[in-house]
Each structure stands twice: as structure tokens, then as C-alpha cells.
A and B are shown apart, each in its own frame.
Chain A
Amino acid sequence: GQNIDQPTEMTATEGAIVQINCTYQTSGFNGLFWYQQHAGEAPTFLSYNVLDGLEEKGRFSSFLSRSKGYSYLLLKELQMKDSASYLCAALDSNYQLIWGAGTKLIIKP
């Protein structure tokens, strides 16, 4: 079957760094997405990785290892506004998005 695993909840301190991991098993693979979603709002696109390696975009970076079925989202210099749910999603061979349940990130001062 197809499956995405990510931690349910994480807590970090303002100004620190946090890494949110995601493992996936899909029928074929066409890329992996990270989205940020604040309560009651639409998800916001953060990153898309289809090749192995790290992609950096400001305070956020995303890493992919296709051979391991593994990705992580790295958030640096955490700010209170980064408190949100972070959704990992893999695109399968039929271009269906397979979603994780999301990781609720709590930032403490």
C-alpha cells in the first residue's frame, strides 16, 4: 500500500532549528512536497523535491533521498509565526498526491 509517515507533533524554541522527517512508500514516485498550514487557512506551498539532495529557500530547506524513501524539512531561526502544521506529500506514478497526516509544530518563546 501507499503510506506517508511523519511525527504527529514537535516542539521547538524560538530562534532554534527544527527538522521534520517524512518517510514514504508509494507506487512510483514523481516528487515530494512540503506544505505549511495554519489553523483554518489553506496550505501554503513550501517546497518540491524530485531529485536527491538539499534545496534551500531562505530559512527553510528540504532534503530528499529517493533510495531511502525519506525527506526532511529543516526550519532555521524559528519564529513564533512558524507555529503551524507541516504536511508532507508524495506524488505517485498516477500523479495522485499521497499525504501524511501532518506534523503540528509548536514554537515556544
Chain B
Amino acid sequence: GAVVSQHPSRVICKSGTSVKIECRSLDFQATTMFWYRQFPKQSLMLMATSNEGSKATYEQGVEKDKFLINHASLTLSTLTVTSAHPEDSSFYICSARVRESGELFFGEGSRLTVL
């Protein structure tokens, strides 16, 4: 199957700093990428949907100014957590949809810890 690479897999940062997480489709073009977040002891929740070349669509309750999503190319989407706080510590997963087939592939997630 196709590969979605997510980087970094783990990141620790100080409160108030910004952190960028990259999601790359390595061997296919992805028209749409999705970002998920896992809350403690809860499910993974969809945060936003991003289409290449356009603004991301955020789910209700997700602060778009805090979680900046950029999908500048057909193989790369980035999630930037701005002015991170300890409550932003979580597990973030991206997924990418293959342009030709519509199949969906997931990255292996990024663990963010904000001190």
C-alpha cells in the first residue's frame, strides 16, 4: 500500500512556542488530507479537512487560529500548533486520500508534549 510519512513522531516543546507537524504522501498524490487528534482516554477526533490549494475546513470546536493547516502541494500538509499550551499535549494523526482511487492512508502519528 501507499505510504504516508508523518514527522516528527515525538516532539517536546515549551509552553508558548509553536510546533509544526508534517504529513507527506510518499508515493502518491493526495487531493485531500485529514488531521485527527486523540484526547486522553477518548477517541481520535477529526480536527480538519484540507484540500490542496484551498483553506482547510475545521470541525466545530477546533480553533483555526491555533491549529494552522497548510496543504501547499499534492504531497504535503502541515499542522502548526501555535502558542502551544500543556492542554494541547496529545497524539495527532494525519491521513491522505489518493487522488486517482480515493483510497485513504494514515500516518503513524505524532506525540506532542507541551511542558
Contact = CB atoms under 8 A, between A and B. Distances in A.
28 contacts: A30-B104, A31-B104, A42-B91, A42-B109, A43-B91, A44-B108, A44-B109, A45-B108, A45-B109, A48-B105, A48-B106, A50-B103, A50-B104, A89-B43, A89-B44, A91-B104, A94-B46, A95-B34, A95-B46, A95-B49, A95-B104, A96-B45, A96-B46, A97-B36, A97-B43, A97-B45, A97-B46, A98-B43
A22 to B, nearest CB: 14
Please classify the interface of chain B as helix (H, G, I), strand (E, B), loop, or mixed, using the class held by over half of its residues.
strand
Contact of A97 (B44, B105, B108): B44
Given A43-B109, A96-B46, A98-B43, 14 more contacts: A30-B104, A42-B38, A42-B91, A42-B109, A43-B91, A44-B108, A45-B106, A45-B109, A48-B106, A50-B104, A89-B44, A91-B104, A97-B43, A99-B43
Interface in A27-75: 30-31, 33, 42-45, 48, 50
Interface of A: 30-31, 33, 42-45, 48, 50, 89, 91, 94-99
A42 B107 CA distance: 13
Interface of B: 1, 34, 36, 38, 43-46, 49, 91, 95, 103-106, 108-109, 111
B43 A33 contact: no
A35 B39 CA distance: 15
A96 B103 CA distance: 15
